[in-house]
Each structure stands twice: as C-alpha cells, then as structure tokens.
Amino acid sequence: MRILVVDDEKDVELLFRQKFRKEIKNKSLELVFAFSGQEALEMLEKSVPPKVIYIFSDINMPGMTGLELLDKVKGKYPQIKVSMISAYGDTDNYNKAIESGAKEFFTKPIDFESLREEINGLIN
C-alpha cells in the first residue's frame, strides 16, 4: 500500500520512516513524500489511476494549503482517502477538513499509534 505524506517540513520524512520502519521493511507499506500541495498533485498525476491510496497532509503549508489540496484530491480522485494534520487542534480547521471529505484529523505531535491503526484499517 502506497501512502503519500504531504508536509512542508522536510524532517517529517525521517520521522515517518522511523515510525513505520517495520511496515516498510516487510513491504506492507510504501511511503512517498511531497513537500507542497502542488508537488503532491504532480505526483498523483504521474500514473493513471494514481498508485497512492491514502494521503496524510499537513494543513498549514505555504502556497497551497492542505485544505485546498484536500478539495482538489476529492474532486479529481474521490477514491483516495485523505487525513489531515495540524499543529493547531482548532475546531474551525477540523470542521472544514471533515466537511471537505477528510477521513481523519490528527494534531501535532502525531499520535503514531492512532495513525498506525488508521493505516491498518485500510490494509485489512
């Protein structure tokens, strides 16, 4: 299963690779990374249909926000599940994300056990 992580903070890649090293090693999970909403859309367009089945995106990014990315993904690729993350657990972002079709909403620091359960639910 291929997951796309979208976050403008580059250190997120190392963190995700550490937290999911077992799943990556046994090839049950493939992580790919984009560092902007635009880069994420370009990655999705490289294969038809996209090989990504789940997107985990930060909300607050320069340029295209995670909520704008969510709208574009849901409009063009409704089969892809998208969860959002924010450093701010504010109700406004939560409501916008869920109303726009987000599967889940996480706050930083990420609870990786909850995220693992979310991902395992998609695999099984």
Domain at 116, CATH number: 3.40.50.2300
Rg, C-alpha atoms of the chain: 13
* pLDDT for 36: 97
The structural domain count of the chain equals: 1
* pLDDT for 108: 87
Print the domain residue range for 34.
2-123
Among 9, 3, 1, CA closest to 108: 9
Farthest-apart Cα atoms in the chain, separation? 39
* pLDDT for 123: 66
One digit per residue, the tens of pLDDT, for the chain of length 124 reads 899 999 999 999 999 999 999 999 999 999 999 999 999 999 999 988 889 999 999 999 999 999 999 999 999 999 999 999 998 778 899 999 999 999 999 998 889 999 999 888 876 5
* pLDDT for 9: 93
Contact 36, 63 (CB under 8 A): yes
* pLDDT for 124: 58
* pLDDT for 120: 84
* pLDDT for 45: 94
